[in-house]
């Protein structure tokens, strides 16, 4: 567990919780990223600008952190085009069909004790774990 970083994880998690709290108590919305992004695919009047602003904030927040705190922060992201495309497509399809992702089901749904969200979170974590196992320990060396 040499990469384990519990303190930044808890602090970052609290920020995410504050985001969900702000969106809920001010706008009456669930902070589920797949839902916020996916809602742009079926735009309705008065329902587009806040989504774009939230998405802009997601990028600005990470950018500001990088600029102010960790200028050398880098992401380890696969260079494989097929993996990126298939991973992106499956993520888009799966979160739309199941109505949520790590934030919508995993954080907001579980926080309101939704059985659907608890099941969804267990399933996507198990599927993610199985996928990584196959990629790293079966196909990989």
Partner 1 sequence: MSKEISALAAGILFGLGLAVSHMVDPAKVLGFLDIAGAWDPSLAFVMAGALVVTFVAFRIASGRPAPIFAESFPAPARKEIDARLVGGAAIFGIGWGLVGFCPGPAVSSLAFGLPQSLIFVGAMVIGMAGARMITQGPAVATGTS
Span 18-37, contacts to partner 1 by CB under 8 A: 18-37
Q: Of the candidates 45, 71, 77, 139, which one interacts with partner 1 according to CB under 8 A?
A: 77
Under the binding rule (CB under 8 A), the answer on residue 6 touching partner 1 is yes
Under the binding rule (CB under 8 A), the answer on residue 8 touching partner 1 is yes
- Min dist CB 54 to partner 1, Å, is 4
For the segment 37-76, give every residue that binds partner 1 (CB under 8 A). 37-42, 44, 49-51, 53-66, 69-70, 73-76
- Min dist CB 141 to partner 1, Å, is 12
Under the binding rule (CB under 8 A), the answer on residue 115 touching partner 1 is yes
Q: Which of 111, 90, 108, 88 is nearest to 100 (CA)?
A: 108
Q: Which of 14, 15, 16, 36 is nearest to 27 (CA)?
A: 36
| Distance in angstroms (rounded) separating the CA atoms of residues 110 and 26 | 20
- Min dist CB 63 to partner 1, Å, is 4
Under the binding rule (CB under 8 A), the answer on residue 128 touching partner 1 is yes
| Distance in angstroms (rounded) separating the CA atoms of residues 106 and 121 | 5
| Distance in angstroms (rounded) separating the CA atoms of residues 10 and 1 | 17
Under the binding rule (CB under 8 A), the answer on residue 10 touching partner 1 is yes
Q: Which of 91, 92, 79, 103 is nearest to 24 (CA)?
A: 103
Q: Of the candidates 71, 72, 79, 141, which one interacts with partner 1 according to CB under 8 A?
A: 79
Check if the beta carbon of residue 84 is closer than 8 Å to that of residue 78. yes
HSE-CB at 36 with a 13 A cutoff on CA atoms is: 24
For the segment 80-99, give every residue that binds partner 1 (CB under 8 A). 81, 83-99
């Amino acid at each position: 567990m040499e990469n384990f970083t519990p303190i930044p994880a808890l602090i970052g998690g609290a920020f995410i919780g504050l985001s969900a709290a702000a969106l809920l108590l001010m706008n009456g919305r669930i902070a589920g990223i797949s839902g916020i992004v996916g809602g742009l695919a079926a735009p309705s009047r008065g329902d587009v600008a806040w989504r774009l602003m939230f998405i802009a904030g997601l990028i600005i927040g990470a950018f500001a952190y990088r600029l102010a705190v960790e200028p050398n922060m880098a992401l380890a992201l696969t260079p494989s085009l097929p993996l990126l495309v298939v991973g992106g497509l499956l993520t888009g399809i799966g979160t739309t069909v199941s109505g949520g992702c790590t934030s919508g089901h995993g954080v907001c749904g579980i926080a309101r004790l939704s059985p659907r969200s608890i099941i969804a979170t267990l399933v996507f974590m198990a599927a993610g774990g199985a996928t990584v196992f196959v990629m790293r320990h079966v196909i990989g060396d």
